[in-house]
Structure 1
Amino acid sequence: MNFFLRRKRKNTGASSTAVEEHVPGQEGEDEVCQTCFNWTLRVPPPKDNRPDPVLKLDFGAIAASKATGRCRYCHVINQCLEQFEAKFKPGGNNTVSITGAPNKSFFVSWDDEKNGYTSLQVYRFNAYCECAIEELGPARDMENIVGCPELLRMIRKWLQYCEGNHPKCNQIQGTLPRRLIYIGLESEGWKLIQDVDPDTRYAALSHCWGEESSFTTSKATLQDRIKGITQAELPATFQNAVTVAQALGLEYLWIDSLCIIQDDNSDWNHETSRMGGIYERAYVTIAASSSSGDHIDFLNNSPGRSYYAGHDIDAWPFMSTSYIVGRPVHDVRQTKHMDPLTRRAWAFQERLMSRRFLSYSTALTWTCRGGFVCECGLDFKADPLFDGPSYPGLELSCFEKPDMPAFVRLMDQDPPPSFDLHYLWYNEIVQPYSRRELTKHSDRLPALSGVVKRFHEKIPHDNYLAGLWEQDITRGLLWTTTTTTTTNESGGPGGHLPEDGYRAPSWSWASVEGPISFLSPHQKAPNPGIFRTSVIEAQCQPESMDIPYGHVSDGFLRLKGPATLASLTISPTPTVSLHSKEFKSSPIKDNVWLDTPVQKLRLPGDCGTAIGRSHHPKQQQKVKAQVTCVVLHDSFEVANNLSVISRRLLLVLAPSARREDAFERLGIVQLGSPTGKIQGWYGEFKEKELLVI
């Protein structure tokens, strides 16, 4: 292959460091490799309707070009791959993607055999140094620790810019807390105060308590906290929060474990029900994202930070010192390094509701209603080569690490008529939220109450029912605790019953522990299907009428739809069998996505036994029992042989052990068969009304 073409190149003035034999004729010409001829920072290829054109090269071609010692572009790209020990799967995808623009960084990504998707930012050491790639722009190096004086000065500049340029960030909304910690601007005189002036500016701390006993306020210690709190008493995370708040000029701090009386149920319920509003009202939220507990000094200890350190990229023989640096891209949408705080359920709404969110993670980042900035100089979508999950049309990028500015835009503006708010609720809020952890499992609903309140303001004519919305409740029933991917085709239960008693009706995703997935179709999908069952009545009773989005004490649905009896067998895979008079010898069977393991239960009165949800984390026994199946949703698809395949989602119910005339949910089954075949069994379904609790 002819790898090289000739092209004029501007003299860099670095003749003393360049190797003579690679500057043909010594006339300022350089040979440009055909492998990357269509990509240089100085003369990028046509944009092709993309903000940054992407070139895809074969790793072998890059290595072959580098081996000739003539192309500085392929040389630098290959050195980046070698420096970061890139490994490609034999016979797999060996594509290297590259994008960049003049006087900026360029980015290199590949699918690594060991680490999966990997992306590097490549940049000039500084704007003034001579560089092996003259069109390369500089970037900001990350400091060794996030608590250094340089970064404290940087966050003050971020705050000052936000105050002067972001009107939405200066709007005071939310709820004033009952108590704050006065920290002043000194290292003493700290104390808990109970009479909070409405105009008080305060910082709020978002943190993981950790397994070690946290420094808290109780009924017994309340007066001591009011008299004074010494610096030595506070765990490291709290001391760090004081340092950051004082650096921002804030004299008051809110910490949940200190400002809420932990053994006073009335105070706890009152303050936690308004938690979202407390973070929303805070002038800034300080997030100890990298800390797994309050004992950790997050200003001087950032696990994973060294991963993003810059490495010098060798450009010999083109220059003895290249002044080119490469480092992994710090992109908050990616989950290569999940912080402890991103696994905490309460922190989900703390991030979404805050108007300014300062995160001490592997890198220091600032998110506010006006935008995002990282200490590394990149924005929220730091990696232009990363194609992460997003909500069509609104750029709600990966709510695993919530995009607060996008959420605020959604809540503050009228969405387009085609926008499906309920779909977003289930798939972009409930689904990622359900993967997070709680110390007190009973907080599954309260920990989302602030987001619910904002969402309800968007749809005021709807009713919130223990995690679901009444106007779209049939679609809200299409949840499962088991993923629908091929990795879990057995239908084994992915969740379990909470051990702390009743939490929500069985039809709510909040009634079980574990990650939730939704099978619900988008309203604008090419084949959204048809809902066969309607909800003719729905009610949910809050534990306290003053806290409408928190704990619930009871609830029911009255369903009307096609239903039939079926046999549930677990031996060991859960399956449902539907029998038909027309097809007696060949019942239709399919796997069940059980919400939890099941067990035999005694029914009220003399009604015998049935099966119901079990508290055991694993299925303890083989089961064969009668259940009721209700058709929730029908859809159709055309197979490769042009036959029409029917997909029916059925709700699997069993008689309730709590109430004689009611049913409880066990799970969901999807029946898939050629349309003509399934119609025979479908004749067994009769329209019924069922009470589900």
Structure 2
Amino acid sequence: MAHSCTHCQQYVLVRPRTKEDIYWVEVLEVDSQVVVDAASNGCAFFNWCLLQQPEPSHPIHREELKENLKLRARMWAGERHNNSTGQFLWLRWEEHPASEWVEGGQGLDIKSLFIMAEVGVCLKPLSRATGDPAARYNAARPIHRSVASAAKFDLGRTWLDKCSKVHPSCKSPRRDSIPLRLIEISCADTSYEPKIRLVSNTGKLLYAALSYCWGNPSFIEDIKLSNKTYPEWLDDIPFSRLPKSLQDGVIATWKLGLRFLWIDCLCIFQDNNTEKAIEIAKMPEIYRGAYVTISAARSTGSNQGFLHDIQVPSVEANIFKMAYVCPDGRLGSILLFDDSVPQMMEPIDYRGWTLQEHILSPRLLIYGVHGLRFNCREVIQHDDEEAATGSLSSGNNQKLSLLRDIPSNSEIARNTWARTLVEYSGRTLSHPGDRLLAISGVAKYYSEILNDRYLAGIWLRDLPAALMWENISTQFQRPLGNRAPSWSWAAIDGAVENFKLSVPVDPYLSVISHDIQLIEPAAPFGDVSSGHLTLKGFLREASWNGIALVSSSFPSREYMTSTVSDAIESELTKDGSVFIKVWCLQIHPFDESRHMGPSGLILARVYGQTFRRLGIFSFDANDVSPELRDADFYSQLDIEQREWAQASEMQEFVIL
């Protein structure tokens, strides 16, 4: 039950009425003594504000703020923001008057309260809103929805049956003998535990596949397939010992009318590296051959399950009802709560392995934070009919559909691969060394279209332009070991992008030879033990501190370049006080008409003419703030760009 009383109802939150006013706006200002008095008289909202008040970093600040302290709040009233509903309240104890709210001003942040309309039962904007007027202007709704009811399983079966009968592009390929093993479900009546066991795949069995987040590996440690558990699992896999997500996968499979289920940790020997490499290489066929992939999208770990009811806000949340003036002038009410709003992004969308599972599967039944969704090659459907468009999850559906729609045209496919790489590289892996392996299934699928050689994450035809990938995330320490060549994006952690494949490459730069050593020859898109490229191109010596390039001969001369490092290098310091000798390889030449270039790789010498990649550099006027471009800026930049190219030397060398 939401709290509401005469104290907090005195304050009315007013949303802006014009498009120009849609931004952070002041909606609340209350003297500290009023807050204290209201809380002492039983107002749960103001009492919550007092309880959440943090201590300042320096005790003296408390004394400074006591006299004129006010509780103030701003509300974001724009479109959906940060993948959420776009509606939340930011509270702060502040000494400035309302007209002087400043970022970083002396004050004490509390936290954000999320806003949702009081009416409705789903997360979606209502085009024909009824009830409270505020419902029209707030996308979020309280949810209390069952995803495991008989009606929901009936709906899932209906979606699957219709798709399998009338969607030609969703037809599964021949199953043959892929995968090697499946889990057979004898009975999954809710009155007792289902009987499940491991069986060999005859090649003609209709099966579901489970896509889920492992989470802590200890959750599956006792039940994963191994030489020790194999004899026992052939007779019986104890249902009660399975993590909750695996239990729910078994139940969902049976309720959807299927008898066989594929789960990676139960169907692939986890203590046999050779089999793991071979079976992982077969991932495209395993997921493409599944009748349906059941996605435990709402769970962050295998212990959480996904068939339990959805409830937002949670029963533990503090909920407050406040008066709200809509842009059309009508008075309504909204709910403020200190619980997390379900985001467009599902927990499973942050995990590396699950991307290829979602891309390759012909049919996806997604148990998400907003409800049950169905995604095949031809349609997107939601258990709430209106939520398929305009809901918080609709953007996620559309993004997934774009990644799943792999074009047959090879040139277009190269662009979709670039988008897929951005999405994948920003995800996390329990074992970061799986960076190449966890996308190998998608790479294999693309290879059928591109008809190209795959070199540790980079297509041969895209060289040398593909070497200009860029780290676009928070930098991590450079990984230990040698999981990929330094010129491959797989060598580092974090999100990368490379949308410069169409930018002209230096005509004098050439790839002379390449070599990749696979760990498992049967998995050409998987892990590598080593690799190198032999190139011929223009190199130039310089000094670099991780931020700026300077002349090796005149250290006081800083080049007008921007640089991006691949990772945190142990020999450099955060403050840039240490410079190291580097060599810069020109990939893209000087483009006088656009004031761009040269740009290329920053390399460190390993020995002789052998180097490793550290980052990228570029001359680009757009990287300099307009206010810093004085009258002489472009002429100075032009001189330096020309001089850089002229001083570079043509050399043949190797990058590890």
Q: TM-score normalised to the size of structure 1? A: 0.66
Partner of 1:155: 156
Q: One-letter code of the match for 1:544? A: E
| Cα pair 1:201 1:250 within 8 Å, conserved | yes
Q: Mark the CA change 1:595 to 1:409 in structure 2 (over 3 Å): closer, same or farther.
A: closer
| Per-residue Cα deviation, 1:632-651 (whole angstroms, up to 9, x for no partner) | 1135476xxxxx63332221
Any idea what SS the aligned residue of 2:589 has? strand
Report whether the alignment pairs 1:205 with 2:210: yes
Partner of 1:578: 551
Q: Mark the CA change 1:380 to 1:132 in structure 2 (over 3 Å): closer, same or farther.
A: closer
Please list, as runs of the form range in 1=range in 2, the aligned pairs for 1:293-692 lying within 5 A after superposition: 293-302=301-310, 336-362=343-369, 363-378=371-386, 381-383=389-391, 397-398=398-399, 402-403=400-401, 406-411=402-407, 413-414=408-409, 419-426=411-418, 428-460=419-451, 462-482=452-472, 494-499=475-480, 501-518=481-498, 520-521=499-500, 523=502, 528-531=503-506, 533-568=509-544, 570=545, 574-578=547-551, 586=557, 588=559, 590-599=561-570, 623-634=578-589, 636=591, 645-656=595-606, 661-672=609-620, 674-692=637-655
Q: One-letter code of the match for 1:545? A: P
Partner of 1:226: 234
Q: Mark the CA change 1:632 to 1:192 in structure 2 (over 3 Å): closer, same or farther.
A: same
Query: How far is the alpha carbon of 1:258 from its aligned partner?
Result: 0.8
Any idea what SS the aligned residue of 1:664 has? strand
| Per-residue Cα deviation, 1:525-576 (whole angstroms, up to 9, x for no partner) | xxx45435332222222222211000112211112211111112x3xx5322
Distance in 1 (alpha carbons) for counterparts of 2:237 and 2:198 = 11
Q: Mark the CA change 1:219 to 1:93 in structure 2 (over 3 Å): closer, same or farther.
A: closer
Any idea what SS the aligned residue of 1:564 has? strand
Distance in 2 (alpha carbons) for counterparts of 1:537 and 1:557 = 6
| Cα pair 1:536 1:558 within 8 Å, conserved | yes
Distance in 2 (alpha carbons) for counterparts of 1:110 and 1:231 = 43
Any idea what SS the aligned residue of 1:249 has? coil
Any idea what SS the aligned residue of 2:200 has? coil
Q: Mark the CA change 1:585 to 1:516 in structure 2 (over 3 Å): closer, same or farther.
A: closer
Distance in 2 (alpha carbons) for counterparts of 1:634 and 1:545 = 38
Distance in 2 (alpha carbons) for counterparts of 1:620 and 1:313 = 48
Distance in 2 (alpha carbons) for counterparts of 1:199 and 1:341 = 30
Distance in 2 (alpha carbons) for counterparts of 1:579 and 1:621 = 16
Partner of 2:184: 182
Query: How far is the alpha carbon of 1:229 from its aligned partner?
Result: 2.0
Query: How far is the alpha carbon of 1:578 from its aligned partner?
Result: 3.2
| Cα pair 1:365 1:372 within 8 Å, conserved | yes
| Cα pair 1:284 1:355 within 8 Å, conserved | yes
Query: How far is the alpha carbon of 1:287 from its aligned partner?
Result: 1.0
| Cα pair 1:304 1:337 within 8 Å, conserved | no
Partner of 1:48: none
| Cα pair 1:123 1:325 within 8 Å, conserved | no
Q: Mark the CA change 1:685 to 1:227 in structure 2 (over 3 Å): closer, same or farther.
A: same
Which is worse superposed, 628-637 or 110-119? 110-119
Partner of 1:121: 125
Distance in 1 (alpha carbons) for counterparts of 2:392 and 2:347 = 26
| Cα pair 2:185 2:194 within 8 Å, conserved | yes
Structure 2, unaligned stretches of length 5 or more?
A: 1-15, 24-71, 91-111, 117-122, 135-140, 326-330, 621-635
Q: Mark the CA change 1:627 to 1:296 in structure 2 (over 3 Å): closer, same or farther.
A: same
Q: Mark the CA change 1:147 to 1:305 in structure 2 (over 3 Å): closer, same or farther.
A: farther
Distance in 2 (alpha carbons) for counterparts of 1:149 and 1:433 = 35
Distance in 1 (alpha carbons) for counterparts of 2:382 and 2:279 = 32
Q: Mark the CA change 1:157 to 1:306 in structure 2 (over 3 Å): closer, same or farther.
A: farther
| Cα pair 1:183 1:242 within 8 Å, conserved | yes
| Cα pair 1:288 1:361 within 8 Å, conserved | yes
Q: Mark the CA change 1:682 to 1:176 in structure 2 (over 3 Å): closer, same or farther.
A: same
Q: Mark the CA change 1:250 to 1:326 in structure 2 (over 3 Å): closer, same or farther.
A: farther
Q: One-letter code of the match for 2:511? A: V
Which one has the bigger helix percentage? 2
Please list, as runs of the form range in 1=range in 2, the aligned pairs for 1:80-95 lying within 5 A after superposition: none
Q: One-letter code of the match for 2:420? A: I
Q: One-letter code of the match for 1:674? A: L
Distance in 2 (alpha carbons) for counterparts of 1:584 and 1:186 = 73
| Cα pair 1:122 1:325 within 8 Å, conserved | no
Structure 1, unaligned stretches of length 5 or more?
A: 1-34, 37-54, 61-87, 98-107, 134-139, 317-321, 329-333, 390-395, 484-492, 601-613, 639-643
Any idea what SS the aligned residue of 1:450 has? helix
Any idea what SS the aligned residue of 1:553 has? strand
Distance in 1 (alpha carbons) for counterparts of 2:453 and 2:161 = 41
The number of residues matched between the two structures is 534
Partner of 1:10: none
Any idea what SS the aligned residue of 2:164 has? helix
| Cα pair 2:471 2:496 within 8 Å, conserved | yes
| Cα pair 1:179 1:192 within 8 Å, conserved | no
Partner of 1:8: none
Q: Mark the CA change 1:203 to 1:109 in structure 2 (over 3 Å): closer, same or farther.
A: same
| Cα pair 2:207 2:290 within 8 Å, conserved | yes
| Per-residue Cα deviation, 1:498-526 (whole angstroms, up to 9, x for no partner) | 23x221111001011222233x4263xxx
Q: One-letter code of the match for 2:153? A: L
| Per-residue Cα deviation, 1:581-639 (whole angstroms, up to 9, x for no partner) | xx998452545322123346xxxxxxxxxxxxx9xxx869953332111111135476x
Distance in 1 (alpha carbons) for counterparts of 2:225 and 2:335 = 44
Any idea what SS the aligned residue of 1:277 has? helix
Q: One-letter code of the match for 1:559? A: L
Distance in 2 (alpha carbons) for counterparts of 1:325 and 1:545 = 64
Any idea what SS the aligned residue of 1:547 has? coil
Q: Mark the CA change 1:117 to 1:263 in structure 2 (over 3 Å): closer, same or farther.
A: same
| Cα pair 1:579 1:587 within 8 Å, conserved | no
Query: How far is the alpha carbon of 1:350 from its aligned partner?
Result: 0.5
| Per-residue Cα deviation, 1:459-490 (whole angstroms, up to 9, x for no partner) | 11x2110000111122211123245xxxxxxx
Q: Mark the CA change 1:457 to 1:207 in structure 2 (over 3 Å): closer, same or farther.
A: same
| Cα pair 2:534 2:655 within 8 Å, conserved | yes
Distance in 2 (alpha carbons) for counterparts of 1:110 and 1:290 = 22
Report whether the alignment pairs 1:248 with 2:253: no
| Cα pair 1:273 1:550 within 8 Å, conserved | yes
| Cα pair 2:604 2:612 within 8 Å, conserved | yes
Q: Mark the CA change 1:303 to 1:542 in structure 2 (over 3 Å): closer, same or farther.
A: farther
Structure scoring higher RCO (CA < 8 A, sep ≥ 6) equals 2
Identity of aligned residues (%): 28
Query: How far is the alpha carbon of 1:182 from its aligned partner?
Result: 0.4
Query: How far is the alpha carbon of 1:56 from its aligned partner?
Result: 5.4
Query: How far is the alpha carbon of 1:300 from its aligned partner?
Result: 0.9
Distance in 1 (alpha carbons) for counterparts of 2:115 and 2:538 = 46
| Cα pair 2:604 2:613 within 8 Å, conserved | yes
